[in-house]
Amino acid sequence: MYVRTILDEKGRNVVTGGPQLTVRQAAVYLHENHIGAIVIVDRNDRISGILTERDIVAAIARSGAECLDKPISSIMWGNVHRCDEDQTVDELMEMMSTLRARHIPVEKEGRLVGIISIGDVVKSHIRAIQHEADAIKAYISG
């Protein structure tokens, strides 16, 4: 299975923001959209950073509540690990495990086209196992 398959099933919508957003605004976006990461993009939809819930928690732990009024560019990850649609899910799982990353943006020709979370990967894996089990049951009974 490929990253493209997961995106086709879940959709390609990504919550994005610019580096001028405040940490507080980003926290609201995360909460309102029930997501764990915002991808920071430039005007051409090129990835320039990523901000996760863990980044906000770490910033509060380091600096206290005053970090909430700072721009997200002060705490976001600028060196964003990314994948493309043609990578296998196994390659993506290895990348996520090695990097301890819960969210990986997906690029096509340098532009953001989706995001994959660890939850998306787990759901995909469960569906594949269920499909295999159904096929085995059908083979045995028929």
Cβ 118 vs Cβ 92: under 8 Å: no
Please determine, for residue 45, whether its predicted confidence score (pLDDT) is greater than 80: no
Overall number of domains in the chain: 1
Domain with residue 135: its CATH number is: 3.10.580.10
How much is the pTM? 0.84
- 137 pLDDT more than 90: no
pLDDT category at 63 given cuts 50, 70, 90 is: very high
How distant is the alpha carbon of residue 136 from its chain centre? 33
Containing structural domain, residue 13: 3-141
pLDDT at 88: 94
**Average pLDDT score over the chain:** 91
Contacts (Cβ under 8 Å, ≥6 apart) of 18 = 40, 41, 42
pLDDT digits (tens, 9 = 90+) for 81-125: 999 999 999 999 999 999 999 999 999 988 899 999 999 999 988
